Amino acid sequence: MQNGATVLPAPLAIAARGPGMPLSPRITAIPGISLGHTTDREAGTGCTVVLAPPEGMRAAALVRGRATGTRELDALSPRHLVPTIHAILLTGGSAYGLGAADGVMRWLSERGRGFDVGVGVVPIVPAAVVFDLTFAAARWPTADDAYRACERAGQEVEEGSVGVGTGATVGKALGRESAMKSGCGTWAEQRDGLIVGSFVVVNAFGDVRDRDNNIIAGARASDGFLDARRYLADGGPPGGAFAKAGTNTTLVVVATNANLDCTGLESLAAMTADSLAQRITPVGTQYDGDVVFAVSVGAEVPATAISVELLAQEATGTAIERAVRYAVGTHEVPGLGEATSSSAAGS
The three state secondary structure string of 63-103 is ECCCCCCEECHHHHCCCCCCCCECEEEEECCHHHHHHHHHH
Contacts with 142 (C-beta within 8 Å, 6 or more apart), sequence order: 99, 100, 103
Give the global pTM.
0.90
Closest CA to 51 of 195, 204, 155, 170: 155
- pLDDT, mean of residues 259-285: 95
Using one digit for the tens of pLDDT, what is the confidence trace for 93-144?
Answer: 999 999 999 999 999 999 999 999 999 999 999 999 999 987 767 789 999 9
Contacts with 152 (C-beta within 8 Å, 6 or more apart), sequence order: 36, 37, 38, 345
Of all helices (H) and strands (E), which one includes residue 148? helix 143-152
Crossing angle of helices 143-152 and 101-110, rounded to 10°: 50
> How large a percentage of the chain has pLDDT more than 90?
77
Using one digit for the tens of pLDDT, what is the confidence trace for 133-148?
Answer: 877 677 899 999 999 9
Using one digit for the tens of pLDDT, what is the confidence trace for 301-342?
Answer: 999 999 999 999 999 999 999 999 999 998 889 999 864 444
| Pairing assessment for the beta strands 249-258 and 291-300 based on DSSP bridges | parallel
Rounded distance between C-alpha atoms, residue 219 and residue 178, angstroms: 5
What pLDDT shows up at residue 24? Answer: 66
pLDDT at 25 over 80: yes
Using one digit for the tens of pLDDT, what is the confidence trace for 243-252?
Answer: 665 578 999 9
